[in-house]
Structure 1
Amino acid sequence: MKVIVLSGREAKSRTFNLGTWSKALVGLCVLGLPVGAFLLGANLPAQETDLFDARTTNAWHKALRKQQSDVADAEQEAKEQLTALTLKLGEMQARLTRLDALGERLVSIAKLDKGEFQFGTMPAMGGPDAIAEVGELPYQPPEFVSVLNGLAHQIDDRQSQLDTLEALMSRRKLDDDMFLAGRPIKKGWMSSRYGYRTDPFNGNRAWHGGVDFAGKKGADVVAVAAGVVTWADNRYGYGQMVEINHGNGYKTRYGHNSQLKVKLGDIVKKGETVALMGSSGRSTGPHVHFEVYKNGRPVNPATYIRRTGR
Structure 2
Amino acid sequence: MDTRITFQSQGDTLVGRLLLPPGFSADRRVPGVLVTGAWFTVKEQMPLRYAHEMAERGFAALVFDFRGFGESGGALRQRETPADKITDIQAAAAFLSQRPEVADGRIGALGLCASAGYVTEAACNSPALRAVAVVAPWFQDRAVVDAVYGGTAGVAALRQVGEHARAVLAASGQQPFIPAASLSDERALMFGAQYYTEAHRGLIPAWRNEADPGFWPDWLDFDGLTGAERLHRPFLTVQSEAAALPQAARQFYARVSAAKAELWLDNVSQFDFYDHDAPVSAACDAAAAHFRAYL
Normalised TM-score (structure 1): 0.17
Q: Point out which structure has higher relative CO (alpha carbons under 8 A, 6+ apart).
A: 2
Normalised TM-score (structure 2): 0.18
| Greater Rg over alpha carbons, structure | 1
